[in-house]
Amino acid sequence: MFENNERTDLDKLGEFGLIDHLTKNIQLHDKTTVKGVGDDAAVLDFSGRRTLVSTDLLLEGIHFDLAYTPLKHLGYKSIQVNLSDIYAMNGEASQVTVSIGISSKFPLEAVEELYSGMLLACDRYKIDLIGGDTSASKQGLIISVTSIGHAKEEDICYRNGAQENDLLCVSGDLGAAYVGLQLLEREKLVFLENPNIQPDLEGKDYIVERQLKPDARVDVINLLKEMKIKPTSMIDVSDGLASEVLHLCKNSDKGCVVYEEKIPIDPMTYDTAREFNLDPTVCALSGGEDYELLFTVKQSDYDKIKNSPDITIIGHITESSAGTHLVSKSGNVHQLKAQGWNAFKN
Amino acid sequence: MFENNERTDLDKLGEFGLIDHLTKNIQLHDKTTVKGVGDDAAVLDFSGRRTLVSTDLLLEGIHFDLAYTPLKHLGYKSIQVNLSDIYAMNGEASQVTVSIGISSKFPLEAVEELYSGMLLACDRYKIDLIGGDTSASKQGLIISVTSIGHAKEEDICYRNGAQENDLLCVSGDLGAAYVGLQLLEREKLVFLENPNIQPDLEGKDYIVERQLKPDARVDVINLLKEMKIKPTSMIDVSDGLASEVLHLCKNSDKGCVVYEEKIPIDPMTYDTAREFNLDPTVCALSGGEDYELLFTVKQSDYDKIKNSPDITIIGHITESSAGTHLVSKSGNVHQLKAQGWNAFKN
């Protein structure tokens, strides 16, 4: 059916390469579009307040494994990861649409479990589920969520606003979701070898929950408002810290210095990474799925945030020509690299 | 993983049954939500103008067959079917988000074909593609589109506004997309039996295009505005005429009479249906994918539309207790039944 002798493999491009390639020729037509492709959410001007829209696709076998993912958790997570994008714009999330493709072999009760997790997330965050689509799927479970929010134009934090000498900050801690995933994958293998052995997740609740049931950081957005801080740029950490730092720097045309010793890592994440012979810093830099907020603030805001237990200053913004660097605990300077997560590579 | 002894089969519920079941407990939280689940698009109040949002999921093997669907057409169609929902609210479509799940075995050029069809649709309709998501898919091709539009509250046409004695109208003609599909399916079988035989679609352009490359009827929306007609209720014909008429009647708590002889069917649709030993009226009533607009207008608008070549009056609205009926060409009265399209049944 497809007659074309050219062939470029998707796995060479990677997800970001593919997006860049596909979107470079997009022309905007409508005067209500303030910002289209290229940030966490699209920004539309519907008189007075901006409307924010963001969308994510979650696919079985790619983004989740039903062998160890309870459907209710999966529903909850699918909403949270999407809301996270609205908060990363410093917006108020207000609605979601949810489309689901499922095998007709699933019993209704399974779909209800999934949906109950979605509604729980909506309820906790006071979000309206306003529409969607359901279909049979001949393949695996498919979840597509679109979230909608709003903000005053002057409150919106884009990725491109970081200025030289701004402080680079991150909420919460990093790497836990990735290490939690390693644990779940190990227990799955154990179970497949001997179904009589129960999974050993004893005492690992925190990192397992970070993987299975993350919470979007609306509390951090509210905290920043209380502290009267407007970040100069912001993004959520879905693909790993390194990837997100580089997004901010690229979009703002700036460089940065990140200090390894400042990267917040929970002790359980640290110890469990070590059990797996993983470098905890690499887990934080490249693991992904933390759904924390990474943002830059003016130096003059330093006094306001220095004692906040929820926010860590991990570095600062430099001029573009200075490059993007990581200073290791031993004082060595490395180029910051985004391995990130590439769904097109196996 | 799923421990529950209850089991309700999805195929017994059907798509609408599943949606009803899943959405009946949804609570709305946000004052910006004017209308959530239950119409063609959600309606949000973002000061001044309403924001309209609608979403669709298109899955390989369920909604399309790549054996006879050119990717560019598929991209075009995936946008059009979504815009159709915004127009069915009497809104102006302004943006779409597009998420795609694809096998990494697809070459980039194939994705480009798909995307070029999407951008062509956007360009023709002056729509902005404002975001989305792409992912590898281990299964088939997955397309999720969310469309966004806007309208003044007083212009919006909901499904629930039909009044007794209103005229029931439909744009264009019906059944062509379904008959076109039968033709494509037949030629696929011929090809599978003998790959040397070229598909015989000679002279069937119209019905094949209606299946592969439908156009959302923004022209009809503009025509109604020019004629200074605001429909009392409206829906787009995606699941077959009967299903949509019943949606309007149910939502408006009214009955109706539809006259078989008035249902607009193109001669090519009629003749080709006959070739397949199909009843052309059944194709129009239950075939689906026409993406025409079905709407009700006040009797006082009769003179304005009676000579419009694009609009056909097919019946009228009655009180609820009178039921929903089809008067056959021979004068017999039948209960109007929606077989519609049920993705959960094979």
| Chain A: residue whose CA lies nearest to B4 | A109
Task: Clarify whether residues B129 and B176 are in a common domain.
Answer: no
Q: Which of A155, A176, A197 is the last residue of a domain?
A: A155
Mean of pLDDT values over B134-150: 89
pLDDT category at B116 given cuts 50, 70, 90 is: confident
Q: Are residues A223 and A119 in the same domain?
A: no
CA B14, B17, B19, B22: dihedral to nearest 10 degrees? -120
pLDDT for res B150: 87
Mean pLDDT of chain B: 87
What is the average per-residue pLDDT within B44-54? 79
Domain boundary among A123, A155, A187: A155
Chain A and chain B share a number of CB contacts under 8 A equal to: 309
Q: Are B192 and B128 in a shared domain?
A: no
Do B37 and A132 count as a contact with CB atoms less than 8 A apart?
A: yes
Q: Note the pLDDT of residue A108.
A: 78
Which residues in chain A touch residue B119, judged by CB atoms under 8 angstroms apart?
Answer: 25-26
Is there a domain that residue A15 lies in?
Answer: no
Phi-psi category of residue B12: left, alpha or beta, with phi > 0 → left and psi -120 to 50 → alpha: alpha
Distance, in Å, from the CA atom of B114 to the CA atom of A28, rounded to the nearest integer, reads 19
In a domain, B14, yes or no: no
Q: Is A132 annotated as a binding residue?
A: yes
Which amino acid type is present at position B277? N
Measure the CA–CA gap between A54 and A82, rounded to whole angstroms.
7
- What pLDDT score was predicted for residue B39? 57
User: What phi and psi values does residue A312 have, to the nearest 5 degrees?
Assistant: -120, 135
Nearest to B56 among A6, A133, A345 (CB): A133
Q: What is the DSSP letter of A198?
A: P
pLDDT tens for A166-188 read 999 999 999 999 999 999 999 89
In-domain check, residue A187 = yes
Residue B4 covered by a domain: no
pLDDT (0 to 100) of residue A197: 77
Is residue A303 annotated as involved in ligand binding? no
- pLDDT of res. B107: 79
Segment B122-144 shows an average pLDDT of 86
Binding-site residues of B for ATP, in ranges, read 115, 132-133, 159, 238
**Domain finish residue from A90, A123, A155:** A155
A66: nearest CB among B1, B59, B138: B1
pLDDT bracket for residue B11 (50, 70, 90): low
Predicted confidence at residue A346, as pLDDT, reads: 37
What pLDDT does residue A26 have? 60
Please check the confidence at residue B91 and state whether its pLDDT lies above 70. yes
Whether B36 sits inside 8 A of A111 (CB atoms) is no
pLDDT of residue A31: 59
Tell me, yes or no, whether A41 lies in a domain. yes
Quote the pLDDT of residue B166.
98
Could you tell me the residue range of the domain that residue B325 belongs to?
A: 167-335
What proportion of chain B, given as a percentage, has pLDDT over 90? 58
Of B47, B61, B131, the CB nearest to A42: B131
A325 among annotated binding-site residues: no
Q: List the pLDDT tens digit at each of the 346 positions of chain A.
A: 334 456 666 666 665 666 566 566 666 666 566 666 555 566 676 777 788 899 999 999 989 999 899 999 999 999 999 999 999 999 989 888 888 888 877 777 888 889 889 989 988 998 888 888 888 888 789 999 999 988 888 899 989 999 999 999 999 999 999 999 999 999 898 888 888 877 778 889 999 999 999 999 999 999 999 999 999 999 999 989 999 999 999 999 999 999 999 999 999 999 999 999 999 999 999 999 999 999 999 999 999 999 999 999 999 999 999 999 999 999 999 999 887 555 454 3
- Are B132 and B219 in the same domain? no
Show residues of chain A in contact with B122, CB under 8 Å: 29
Residue B85 lies in a domain: yes
Cα A75 off chain centre by:
16
Q: What value does the mean pLDDT take over residues B216-222?
A: 97
Quote the minimal CA–CA distance from A290 to chain B in Å: 18
pLDDT digits (tens, 9 = 90+) for A241-282: 999 999 999 999 999 999 999 999 999 999 999 999 999 999
Residue B46 to residue A343, Cβ atoms within 8 A: no
At residue A13, the pLDDT reads 64
Residues B224 and B323 in one domain: yes
Q: What is the pLDDT of residue B272?
A: 96
Average pLDDT over residues B184-195: 88
What is the Cα–Cα distance from A44 to A51, expressed in whole angstroms? 5
What six digits make up the tokens of A314? 């991990």
Q: Do B54 and B92 reside in the same domain of the chain? A: yes
d(CA B233, CA A139): 37
Q: Are residues B207 and B263 in the same domain?
A: yes
pLDDT computed for residue A153 by the predictor: 83
Over residues B258-311, the pLDDT tens digits come to 999 999 999 999 999 999 999 999 999 999 999 999 999 999 999 999 999 999
Q: Which residues of A touch B100 (CB under 8 A)?
A: 57
Q: Are residues A181 and A262 in the same domain?
A: yes
The CATH number of residue A149's host domain is 3.30.1330.10
Q: A9 lies in a domain?
A: no
The minimal CB distance from B108 to the residues A10, A70, A130 is found for A10
Domain identity same for A137 and A210 = no
- Burial pattern B296-331, b for ≥16 Cβ within 10 A else e, equals bbeeebeeebeebebbbbbbbbbeeeeebbbbeeee
A123 plus A209 within the same structural domain: no
CB contact under 8 A, A10 and B136: yes
Same domain? For A241 and A331 the reply is yes
Of residues A244, A248, A66, the one with CA closest to residue A157: A248
- CATH number for the domain spanning B194: value is 3.90.650.10
> Could you read off the pLDDT of B35-44 as tens digits, one per residue?
655 555 666 7
Count of domains for chain B: 2
Residues B171, B147 share a domain: no
Distance in angstroms (rounded) separating the CA atoms of residues A152 and A154: 5
Within-domain flag for B135: yes
pLDDT of B170 above 50: yes
Check whether B6 has a pLDDT greater than 70.
Answer: no
Tokens of B105: 């075995």
